[in-house]
Structure 1
Amino acid sequence: MEPLKEIYSSHWIQNLSFVVSQIDPKIKASDFQKKLMESPWKNYELKERINRIADTFLFFWNDPLVKIEPKLMALIKLLRKQGVSDFNFPYIFLNDIVVKSGIQDFETSMRILEKTTVFSSAEFAIRFYYINFFEKTVRQMEEWSNHKEPFVRRLASEGSRPILPWGIGVPAIKRQPEIHLSILENLWNDENEIVRRSVSNHLNDISKLQPDLVLEFCKNKFGVSEILDKNLKHALRGLLKKADVRALSYFQYDTKWKPEDFKLTLTKNKIKIGDSLEFHLSFLNPSTKNIKIRIEYKIGFLLANGKLGNKVFQLGEKLLKSKEKIEINKKHSFKPITTRVYYPGKHSITIVINGSECETSQFELLNGK
């Protein structure tokens, strides 16, 4: 798979340079392209390339933000005319231009970000305004949570997350995540799924800091619709994986239920990096009642320090009839991925049902060479 940074291909940059020359005749397309791609462009990773594009614009537009504003709006208008859709990640540098040229001009920045976030999300850019104008930014985000445009409402939730991936940290939000509960109350049942999903992710962030806050928020919100219940489950996913009894009870998982005749079998006790761990499990519902179950497996990955770090994976959910027996076959891949380093040695796998650990087996991971 091609690295994400290659979204900024030579063809893409040529087109951007042409568009820039159309909205600002003082800039030659060839000059813009040359400046943008000068060494060490080829060695830059994704975030460095985004930063470089913004800096290239500001090399030619060395003006206050209020003077850059009409050019940015003209740029977006022409790109849309070319068929570029809204909420388009490659153009996220537009928000960086706003921050770099106007971080001290709060009013102009907010006016522009309200528009650019529709074209390419401003969730990372808004974090810099939290750092510089915390109270004013909180009020602005609360106002945006009632905006008619869904991508602006999403910004109110996404940009204010306590633990936003890729985003700069905002210590004041981590210290008091409850400060944005009014925004989440406005948006948790929003008509737009992309907004609701952002709220779920925001709540999941808070659950890592103040779980009781999220449990209380969700407690009386179930039963409105199947879709909203699904969003609430996504919000509580972290607590469900941690086997939080209260979170499990919200979804009618009986944490005291125990299976009978439980068996966990590994096809092999030794596998190579690059191969898959194959396992089989079976068990019986001994109850005279139907039981709703949530089945997960937890891999204990060997870490560089010699300890095991656990990660939970879901196997599924099922309503087990009285005396019903279930059998599951599963493969877990140990193919190398960028987000995890595999270390040869002893690992473990544990089956978890309704938050309770049923059985653990050991296996050895070997070098694939």
Structure 2
Amino acid sequence: MEPLKEIYSKNWIKNISDQVAKIDSNIKPEEFQKKILESPWKQYELKERINRIAEVFIFFWGNSLTEIEPKLLDLIQLLREEGINDFNFPFIFVNDIVSKAGLNEFDRSMRILEKTTIFSSAEFAIRFYYQNHFEKTLKQMEKWSRHREALVRRLASEGSRPLLPWGIGIPTIKKNPEIHLTILENLWNDENEIVRRSVSNHLNDISKIQPDLVLKFCKNKFGVSEILDKNLKHALRGLLKKGDQRALSYFQYDTKWNPKDLLFKIKKKKIKIGESLEFQFQFMNHSVQKTKLRIEYKIGFLLAKGKLGYKMFQIGEKLLQPNDTIDIVKSHSFKKITTRVYYPGIHTITLVVNGNECMTLKFELLTG
């Protein structure tokens, strides 16, 4: 599978160069393409490539947002006419053009971003305005949370997240995540799923900083609809993984319940990197009541310095009737991946039910 940065292939760059030349006769597509692909383009990662493309537009169009605005909007319109859909990630650089040229032109920048974010999200670009015009940006985002366009409303939530992946950090938001509660109140039950999902992710961010704030926000919002309950559960997913008893109780998980007659075993206690760890667990519900179960397992990965780093994996949910038995066989792959380095040595696996760690087993990971 190609790295994500390869979405900006030579063919893609040629196409966008041709499109720019159509709306700006002063630009020759070959020159535009050559400027983007200048060394060290091949070494650039995704964000660096996005930044380079935006800088090339500034190079040809200058730093005047007044002159950039009509050309940029014409380009977006042309791309739409040629079949490019809105909310299109590769074109996220259009917002970087605005922030690079218009950081000192707040009102004009907001007018443009309100349009460009529909074509490709301005969630990263808006962070620079938080950084330089915090109070004005906060008011603008609150206003956008009531906008008629769903993707503008999404920007109000997504762009203001405390821990936005890839976004520049805004210390004031991290220290005071409650400042965006008005936006989240406006949007948590939005008609559009993409907006609600952003709110869930925003709340999950906050739960890593101020869990009590998120628990309080969610507490009295259950029961409106099944869809909204699902969104609230997504918002609380981090706390559920941590076994937070208050979060678990919101979904009727009995945090005091423990399986009896538990069988938990590993098929092979020594496996090689590249293989899978196979494990099985079995238990019965001895309660006279049906029991709702959230079943997970936690891997203790051996780290470089000899300590264990833990990650939780969800198996699923079960509604166990009285005297019913669960018997599940699962496997966890230790195939090499780019996001994790495996170290040979003793690892652990723990069965977790309703937030309770039921049993831990050890196994050895060997070099392939």
**Counterpart for residue 184 of structure 2:** 184
Q: CA offsets per residue over residues 86-127 of structure 1, 9 Å max, x none?
A: 000000111111111111111111011111110000000000
In 2: Cα distance, 1:53 partner to 1:217 partner: 41
**Counterpart for residue 130 of structure 2:** 130
Q: CA offsets per residue over residues 164-183 of structure 1, 9 Å max, x none?
A: 00000000001100000010
- Alpha-carbon distance, 1:63 to partner: 3.3
In 2: Cα distance, 1:177 partner to 1:42 partner: 38
Number of matched residues?
368
In 2: Cα distance, 1:44 partner to 1:257 partner: 52
**Counterpart for residue 274 of structure 1:** 274
Question: Are 2:340 and 1:340 equivalent residues in the alignment?
Answer: yes
In 2: Cα distance, 1:253 partner to 1:98 partner: 48
Q: CA offsets per residue over residues 236-277 of structure 1, 9 Å max, x none?
A: 000001111100000000011111110111010011111111
Aligned partner of 2:273: which letter?
A: I
**Counterpart for residue 153 of structure 1:** 153
In 2: Cα distance, 1:279 partner to 1:37 partner: 50
Identity of aligned residues (%): 72
- Alpha-carbon distance, 1:39 to partner: 1.6
Q: CA offsets per residue over residues 42-100 of structure 1, 9 Å max, x none?
A: 12111111111011111111131121000000000000011000000000111111111
In 2: Cα distance, 1:201 partner to 1:355 partner: 21
- Alpha-carbon distance, 1:323 to partner: 0.9
**Counterpart for residue 323 of structure 2:** 323
Aligned partner of 1:192: which letter?
A: N
**Counterpart for residue 71 of structure 1:** 71
Aligned partner of 1:175: which letter?
A: K
Aligned partner of 1:7: which letter?
A: I
**Counterpart for residue 353 of structure 2:** 353
Gaps of 5+ in 2: none
In 2: Cα distance, 1:103 partner to 1:336 partner: 43
In 2: Cα distance, 1:209 partner to 1:326 partner: 36
**Counterpart for residue 250 of structure 2:** 250
**Counterpart for residue 232 of structure 1:** 232
In 2: Cα distance, 1:314 partner to 1:158 partner: 26
**Counterpart for residue 61 of structure 1:** 61
Structure-to-structure mapping, 1:198-217, within 5 angstroms = 198-217=198-217
**Counterpart for residue 162 of structure 1:** 162
**Counterpart for residue 98 of structure 1:** 98
Name the SS of the counterpart of 1:315 in structure 2. Answer: strand
Gaps of 5+ in 1: none
Name the SS of the counterpart of 2:224 in structure 1. Answer: coil
**Counterpart for residue 22 of structure 2:** 22
Aligned partner of 1:31: which letter?
A: E
Aligned partner of 1:137: which letter?
A: T
In 2: Cα distance, 1:66 partner to 1:293 partner: 59
**Counterpart for residue 311 of structure 2:** 311
Question: Are 2:49 and 1:45 equivalent residues in the alignment?
Answer: no
Single out whichever of 30-39 and 357-366 deviates more from structure 2. Answer: 30-39
**Counterpart for residue 80 of structure 2:** 80
In 1: Cα distance, 2:2 partner to 2:148 partner: 37
Aligned partner of 1:40: which letter?
A: P
In 1: Cα distance, 2:284 partner to 2:232 partner: 30
Q: CA offsets per residue over residues 291-325 of structure 1, 9 Å max, x none?
A: 00100000001111211011000011011000111
- The runs of at least 4 aligned residues of structure 1 exceeding 2 Å deviation read none
In 2: Cα distance, 1:63 partner to 1:249 partner: 55
TM-score normalised according to structure 2 size: 0.99
TM-score normalised according to structure 1 size: 0.99
Name the SS of the counterpart of 1:59 in structure 2. Answer: helix
In 2: Cα distance, 1:129 partner to 1:363 partner: 50
- Alpha-carbon distance, 1:340 to partner: 1.1
Aligned partner of 1:294: which letter?
A: R
Aligned partner of 1:201: which letter?
A: N
Aligned partner of 2:154: which letter?
A: R
